[in-house]
Amino acid sequence: MIILTSFVLFTGGVAFFTWYSLRKTNLASTDGYFLGGRSLSGMVIAGSMLLTNISSEHLIGMNGNSYVNGFIVIAWEVTSSIALVIAAIFFVPKYLKMGLTTIPQFLENRFDGVTRTMVAAILIFSFVVTLLPIVLYSGAIGIESLFGVSEILGVDKTEGLWVTVVIIGTIGSIYAIFGGLKAVALSDTINGFGLLLGGLLIPILALMAIGDNNVVDGLVKVYNYAPEKFNVVGARDSVLPIEVLFTGLIINQLYFWGMNQTIIQRALGAKNLKEAQKGLLITGLFKILIPLVIVLPGVICYYYFQDTYFDQQDTVYPQLVKKVLPVWLIGFFAAVIMGAVLSTFNSVLNSVATLFSVDIYKKHIAKNVSDIKLVRIGKVTSAILAITAIFAAPMVANASDGLYQLLQELNGIFFIPIASILLAGFFMKKISAMGAKVALIFGLCFYVFMTWGYTSHGIHFVHLWGIEFLLNVAIMYSVSYFYPNQNMYEITDVGAVNLKSWKYTIPMSIGLCAITIIIYALLWNNN
pLDDT single digits (tens) 38-79: 778 898 888 888 877 887 668 888 898 899 988 988 888 889
Q: Percent of the chain, pLDDT > 70? A: 89
- Expressed in percent and rounded to 5, the helix, strand and coil fractions of the chain are 80, 0, 20
Q: Select from 403, 301, 226, 287 the least CA-distant residue to 52.
A: 287
CA distance 53 to 501: 25
Domain with 301, as residue range(s), is 1-523
pLDDT of 154 strictly over 60:
yes
CB 116 within 8 A of CB 107: yes
Report DSSP state, residue 208.
H
Residue 37, pLDDT score: 64
pTM of the shown model? 0.85
Q: How many domains does the chain have?
A: 1
Q: What CA–CA distance (Å, rounded) separates 208 from 181?
A: 40
How many angstroms separate the Cα of 55 from the Cα of each of 80, 349, 446? 16, 14, 29
With beta carbons less than 8 A apart as the criterion, state whether 450 and 412 touch.
no
Q: What is d(CA 334, CA 321) in angstroms, rounded to the nearest whole number?
A: 10
Max distance between CA atoms of the chain, in angstroms, equals 71
pLDDT tens digits for 292-333?
Answer: 999 999 999 999 998 888 888 878 888 898 889 888 787 778
**Cα 33 to the center of its chain, rounded Å:** 21
CA atoms in the 13 A half-sphere facing the CB of 140: 27
Q: How far apart, in whole angstroms, are the C-alpha atoms of residue 322 and residue 135?
A: 21
Sequence-separated (6 or more) residues with CB below 8 Å from residue 67: 298, 299, 301, 302, 305, 309, 313, 316, 317
Cβ atoms of residues 350 and 382 within 8 Å:
yes
Judge whether 338 and 168 are in contact, CB under 8 Å. yes
The CATH number of whichever domain residue 141 belongs to comes to 1.20.1730.10
If you average pLDDT over every residue of the chain, what do you get? 84
Distance, first Cα to last Cα, the chain: 46
Instruction: Say what angle helices 316-324 and 157-210 make with each other, to 10 degrees.
Output: 50
Dist CA 143 CA 341 (whole Å)? 10
Least confident window among 20-34, 404-418, 498-512: 20-34
Question: Any idea how long the chain is?
Answer: 527
